[in-house]
Every structure is written in structure tokens, then in C-alpha cells.
Amino acid sequence: MVPLRRKLLLVIGASALLIVGAIIVYNTLRMREQSMRYSQDHVTALARDYASQIKGEIEKALNVSRDLAFALSAAKDPALQVPFTRSQVNVMIRQILIGSDNISGIFVVFEPNAFDGLDLHYATLSDSDTLIPYAESMDSVGHFVPYWFKENGRIIVEPTYAYGKAWYELPRSTRRELVLDPQMYIVQEKSVLLMTLEVPILFDNVFYGLVGVDISVDWLKEKVNNAHLYDSKTLISIIANDGTIAAFSGMDTLVGKKLLASFPERQYQMDDLKAGKEGTFFDHAFLQIYVPILLGTSEVPWQINVEVPAHLITVAATSQMWRSIFISTGLLIVALLVIFFFVGRLIKPLNQMVAYTKRMAEGRLEEDGKKAGNDELGEMREALNFLADHLKQTSSFAEQIGKGHLDAEFSPAGEKDVLGNSLLEMRSNLQAIAREDEKQNWVTNGQALFVDILSQDDMGSDEVAFRIIKELVGYLGANQGAIFFRDSGAENEQKPLYMAASYAWNKRKFSTLRLAEGEGLAGQCFVEGKTIYMTEVPDHYIRITSGIGMALPRAVLVVPMLINGTVKGVTELASFNAFEQHHIEFVEKIGESIALTFSNIETNRKTRQLLDQSHKARKALQVREEELRQNQEELRATHEELDRMTRRLKSENEELKRRLGEAEPNSGGGIAGQEV
């Protein structure tokens, strides 16, 4: 027969272990699930952010091709009349290459006779006939195909042999930009992985040629190696469209190799790379997330791949599980020892306690209902009642947390209630994660909204400014706002800042307000280049007027719009509600995009002005050439008249000499042929 004392130890210990274990397992599984979901969302957001950064860096070089292709295609517009000579284009390419550190080479390939129609003329010229500037930029038949590149500190030009090759024929047939997969080249006696960005030269959808830029992808290595995620144990790689590994954190030996050659089991990743899809793969070793990088208007996406060790993702949940197990085990052992020493005094009333304990073992967390005595057994009964009630509350609270009700009410038994306090800590952590997710979603949605506005190229600068301030005021829940920009044509004026747009109470405001540098909050922000945030607004600040009265705003936010550290403008917002930190960071972030967009608009305007000036200069040159031609005609007529007079005088002189010869005196003192 098994002693009752041992039975008590077994029953009570098993019951407590079962209950605590169930709670621990349940909470651990929930925490692991939450950790996995959060890590997946977090890593995906990081991968998208890196993809956006890499795209932005490549777009800078791609814009060089676009700008040069745009300039050369504009020369084909008869309305603009902006012809370029071969020498001018060569000088332009050379200057661009000198001013671009990350560009290794620039090439321009024109279709035969598509540049100036003089291919045959240049093909027939020889060095003895004339000195041809930049002759190396043309092939043997006179085609204009310059390739400028850097080599050992020098800038060299040679012809590009492109006709019939796939990298030339593909943009020619599709009329689209093309990003070539990286190839290993020898540059300045070093092996360098280069990628090529091509933009077709089009006018009225007619293909005249293309512009290409070669850039090194070594900066991608630095990008992935400096990404210190999860204690720098995360692997980040960048894969080109053909599967070439352009960068791999901590594994430079894989750079330049094919993905499937190094990882043949990743055919699924290669398929998604070709399709431009995001993907998630998880096994017991790694959480793998990859995101496409869409470059320009080409149809050849790249891919950024992030791999996080699985144990780093679940480390918090695993640590919490073991901590709960150790604490619960210790408490259980202590309880069993107490029962062992005092069981002799508990034998008589123990039957009731056994029945009560059996009910608890069956999961029925209910009070005994019997009055507790004044001895230790009574205290134990009271403690068991309290434990049952508290475990019921704890279980209910854990269930509510598991269902996502993070605002559920719960009070631990005291400061030393490890389980209860651990659950509260877990709830606090989950609430913090939920708040961060909410803020991140708010920022992500806001960035998408303003990217959509800024990407519209069919509106003028004033309309773009109004759309931006209108959406910004509404998205932040502010009451009014304004955008100020520096007038690029008013550097010598006393008030160079002008209000580009303003918005308040769902209405557009029109104003000709101008500010001097340092004048008001906007002028001060423009000079200092730093964000100004005020929650104690002075009485002299502008009041917000509505249909029911006028009042001072509670918060004022003034944010500079920067490009490479240079202030291009200022965004000013006023609200009855305070701005949170992520609101301020959001406005600062999109300020860069706004400044860049308006800088591009200003650049395009100046380009149009320069084209117009070039057109006027050409017309003036044509008038001057006509005057010179008329002067040459008059000089030629004068020369012909002088020539005729010279021939006539020469003839008269010869006639006079002949007559004088006939009248020469003879030996008799008379004139020959006459009688004396």
C-alpha cells in the first residue's frame, strides 16, 4: 500500500505541475508565435527599406543615363533646334565622367547616320585631310559610338562595338531601359564587378541609339556588411537578375558566383527573383525573407535576401519559458517539503483536502466552500482557495492575452508573484510591439501616399505644393499648414522665401507672403536647418480661425526640407493636438522627398530656359551667317571687277608697247617706213 503522505505529495505535486506547465506551454507557444510574426514583419520591413536604399543609389547612376539620353533626344526635336556636334557630345560625356566618382564608364551608341547624317563623311576623311577631334569615338565606317572610361587615373575614349549584340538589340526592340547583370572586369589592374545601366534615345518613339553607364557594385558589399542586425549574425545578400551574387555579408568569396551554383536547393528563390516576387521561407535553422529590387523601367528585377538564425528570433520566448519552469519547479518542491513535514497533523482533515485537490487536478478552479480553521491546515485551505482563485484569474488573463485582448485587467498576487508579474510583463511587451507596429504602419502608409503624390509629373509646382500640404495636414490631424521655398531667382532680394502653398480647415489658402531669412519660425528654421517644435505657443503667433471662433494652436512644428544638408524649403504645421515623435520624424523624412521633387522641377524649368536661350542664340547665329554670306558675295563681285580691269590694262599696255616698237627711228635719222 502506498503511504498517504506519498500520495499527497504525488497528487498535489502533479496537479500543480500540470496547471503551471499548461500555462507555461500555452504562454510560451503564444510568445513564440508573436515573436515569429513580429520578426517576420520587422525583417520584411528592413529588407524593403534596404531595397529602397539600393534602388535609390542605382537610380542616381541611372539618372545620368536618363539625363544624357534626354538631352540627345531633345536634339532630334525640330521645334527645339538644339543640334549637337560630335565634339560637343564627347566633351559632355567626358565632363560627366570626371564629375562622377562611382561611374567607371559612359558610352553612347547611335544608329548608323542617326546622329548627324555624316557617317560617310567622317569615314572618308583621313589624317592628311583634316585633324578630326575625338576620332577615337568613331568606328572605321564613321558611326558615332563613343565609349569613355577611366583607366589608371586617365580618361580614355574608344569606339563601342555594339551592333548585333543582345545588350544593344534588346533596348532597341523594347524601347525600355535595361539593367545588365553584373560582370567581372579588370579596372585599374583590379577585378571589379560592374553593372551597366542603359537608357534608349527616343523621340516620337523612334529609336536613335542608347546611353549606357558602367558602375562598380563594390559599394553593395559595404552596404550589407554594415547592416548590424541581430548581433551581426544576420546574413544579407543581393542577387542580380541572372542569379549573380553581387554582395554577401561576410562571404566575399561568393561575390560574382551564381546563386544556384552555391545553393542548388534554392530554385524557389531563383523562380521568385525572375518573377519579381517577395518570399518567406522558414526552417529550424533560418528565417529567410527576400524582396525584389525594381530598377528603373526595366523588366529585370534584382533581389535582396535576408536570413536570420531561428534561435535569435525565439530567444526571448525560450528564455521566458525556462525561467518560468525553474521558478515553478522551485515553488513546487518547496510545497512538497512543507506537506511532507506537516502531513502527520493533516491526516484527519486531509480527506476533505484530498477531494478538494482532486477537483483542482481535474482543472476545476473553485473554492472549497468550507470554513478554514485557525491552524496551519486552515491557512492551507485558505491558501488553496486563494491559489485557485488566482490561477483562475491568471488563466483567464492568459486566455485573453492569447486572443489578442491586450487591455484585459489583471492584478498579480504581489510583488513576488513571478507568474502574474511575468504575464503582466509579457502583456506590456506585446502592447509595445502592437504600438510600434501601428506607428510603423502609419509611417509606411504615409510614405506610400506621398510617394504617389510626388511621382505625378502632370502638375505644376504650385499644384504639387498644395496637394502635399493638404494631404500632410489631413494625415497628421493638424489644423493648418504652409510650405515655403526659396525663390531661386531672388537671391538679392530682402525676402527670398515665398509661400508656395497653404491649407487650413479643409480649404485652400492663397497668399503672397514672403519672408526674409531668419524672419519668423519659418525663416529661423531655414537659416538653422533644424526642426523647431513648440508646445507653448506665444500670443503673437498666428491664431487658428474656425466657424466658432479663434484660438492659439497647441503645437507648432517647423521642419526644414534638406538635400545633402542644404535647406531648400520649410514646412510649417499648426495643430490643437500635440505632435508625437514619429509624426515629427515622418515629416522630416518626407521633407527630403519633397525637396528633391521641387529641385527636379526647378532643374527642368532651368533646362527649358537654357534650351530656349540656345534656340534664340542659334537664330541670331543664322542671321549673322546670312550677313557674312552677303558680304562674301559683294567681295567676290569686287574681286571679279578688279580682275577684268587688270586684264584690260595689261592688254592696253601690250598694245602701246607694240605701237612704240613700230615707230622706232631708222639709221637715216627718220622713222622707219617713211621718206625723209
For residue range 169-201, list pLDDT tens digits in order. 989 998 988 888 888 776 556 677 788 889 999
What is residue 340's predicted lDDT score, i.e. its pLDDT? 62
Per-residue pLDDT at 548: 40
Do residues 142 and 231 share a domain? no
In a domain, 653, yes or no: no
Q: According to the model, what pLDDT value does residue 360 have?
A: 67
d(CA 503, CA 659): 106
Q: What is the mean pLDDT of the chain?
A: 77
How far is it, in rounded angstroms, from Cα 38 to Cα 418? 25
Residue 291 CA to residue 301 CA, distance in Å, equals 10
The pLDDT value recorded for residue 526 is 86
pLDDT band at 299 (very low <50, low <70, confident <90, very high): confident
- The letter for the amino acid at 59 is E
CATH number of the domain encompassing residue 242: 3.30.450.20
Report whether pLDDT(106) > 90.
yes
658 has a pLDDT exceeding 50: yes
Q: How many CA atoms lie within 13 A of 222 on its CB side?
A: 4
Instruction: Say yes or no to pLDDT of 369 above 90.
Output: no
- Higher-pLDDT residue of 277 and 227 is 277
pLDDT of residue 93: 92
Cα–Cα distance, 596 to 600 (Å, whole number): 6
Q: Is the pLDDT at 398 greater than 80, yes or no?
A: no
200 sits in which H/E element? strand 190-203
Instruction: Count other Cβ atoms within 10 Å, centred on residue 468.
Output: 24
Question: What's the domain count of the chain?
Answer: 3
- Binning pLDDT at 50, 70 and 90, where does residue 491 land? low
> How many CA atoms lie within 13 Å of 455's alpha carbon, on the beta-carbon side?
6
Rounded distance between C-alpha atoms, residue 413 and residue 385, angstroms: 13
Cβ atoms within 10 A of the Cβ of 246, count?
A: 23
* Cα distance between residue 416 and residue 360, in whole Å: 23
- Tell me the residue ranges of DSSP E strands in 204-316: 206-216, 235-239, 245-248, 279-282, 286-293, 302-309
**Residue 201 CB contacts under 8 Å (≥ 6 apart), including other chains:** 69, 72, 73, 76, 108, 110, 207, 208, 209, 210, 211
Q: What local confidence, expressed as pLDDT, does residue 172 receive?
A: 92
Q: Is position 438 within any domain?
A: no
For residues 243 and 168, state if they share a domain: no
| Together in a domain, 164 and 252 | no
Percent of the chain with pLDDT over 90: 7
Highest mean pLDDT among 108-112, 223-227, 645-649: 108-112
Domain boundaries, position 588: 459-607
Single residue among 106, 141, 176 that ends a domain in this structure: 176
Residue 276 lies in a domain: yes
Q: How confident is the model at residue 667 (pLDDT cuts 50, 70, 90)?
A: very low
pTM: 0.43
User: Mean pLDDT throughout 527-535?
Assistant: 87
Question: In this model, does residue 647 exceed pLDDT 60?
Answer: yes
Q: Does position 476 have pLDDT exceeding 60, yes or no?
A: yes
Q: How does residue 128 score in pLDDT terms, banded at 50, 70 and 90?
A: very low
Query: Is residue 477's pLDDT more than 60?
Result: yes
Together in a domain, 150 and 289 = no
Question: What element of type H or E holds 445?
Answer: helix 418-454
Q: Which of 208, 211, 206 is nearest to 196 (CA)?
A: 211
Indicate the residue type of 572: E
Residue 48 located in a structural domain = no
pLDDT of residue 541: 65
In a domain, 645, yes or no: no
Same domain, 239 and 295: yes
Same domain? 116 vs 250: no
Asked if the model's pLDDT at residue 507 lies above 50, the reply is: yes
Q: Which of 275, 293, 313 is the last residue of a domain?
A: 313
- Higher pLDDT, residue 196 or 455: 196
For residue 311, give the nearest of 282, 269, 281 by alpha carbon.
282
Question: Is the pLDDT assigned to residue 631 strictly greater than 60?
Answer: yes
Same domain as 229, residue 170: no
Minimum mean pLDDT among 172-186, 253-267, 370-384: which range? 370-384
Q: Are strands 514-515 and 532-534 parallel, antiparallel or unpaired?
A: unpaired
Q: What is the DSSP letter of 65?
A: H
- Reported as type and span, the H/E element at residue 260 is helix 259-262
Query: Same structural domain for residues 126 and 229?
Result: no
Flag whether 402 is in a domain: no
Domain presence at residue 363 = no
Mean pLDDT of 316-320: 63
For residues 549-576, average pLDDT:
82
Among 142, 176, 210, give the residue marking a domain's end.
Answer: 176
The answer to whether residue 585 scores a pLDDT higher than 90 is no
Q: Which of the two residues, 72 and 81, has the higher pLDDT score?
A: 72
* Contact (Cβ atoms closer than 8 angstroms) between residue 214 and residue 192: no
Instruction: Report the interhelical angle of 347-361 vs 4-74 (nearest 10°).
Output: 30
Q: What is the rounded distance in angstroms from the CA atom of residue 55 to the CA atom of residue 292? A: 10
DSSP E strands, 50-114? 103-110
φ, ψ (nearest 5 deg) of residue 156:
-120, 145
Flag the least confident range among 231-240, 502-511, 633-642.
502-511
Higher pLDDT, 427 or 341: 427
488 close to 583: Cβ distance less than 8 angstroms: no
pLDDT band (50, 70, 90) for residue 549: very low
Q: What average pLDDT does range 371-383 have in this prediction?
A: 64
Q: What's the pLDDT tens digit per position in 78-94?
A: 877 667 888 999 999 99
Same domain, 242 and 139: no
- Residue 262: what pLDDT? 87
Which residue intervals of 518-580 are DSSP H helices?
520-528
Predicted pLDDT of residue 675: 38
User: How far is the C-alpha of 495 from the C-alpha of 517, rounded, in Å?
Assistant: 7
pLDDT for res 300: 79
Distance, CA of 116 to CA of 546 (rounded, Å): 64
pLDDT at residue 346 in the model: 59
Gap between the Cα atoms of 256 and 237, Å rounded: 12
Q: Residues 270, 140: one domain?
A: no
The answer to whether 416 touches 334, Cβ cutoff 8 Å, is: no
Per-residue pLDDT at 199:
93
pLDDT of res. 112: 92
Which conformational region is residue 239 in: left (phi greater than 0), alpha (psi within -120 to 50 degrees), or beta? Answer: beta
**What's the CATH number where 512 sits?**
3.30.450.40
In a shared domain, residues 171 and 257? no
Query: Which triple of cell numbers denotes residue 663?
Result: 615707230
Could you tell me if 608 and 614 are in contact, meaning their C-beta atoms sit under 8 angstroms apart?
no
Query: Residues, the chain, total?
Result: 676
- Sorting pLDDT into bands at 50, 70 and 90, what band is 638? confident
Q: Are residues 586 and 486 in the same domain?
A: yes
Residue 421 lies in a domain: no
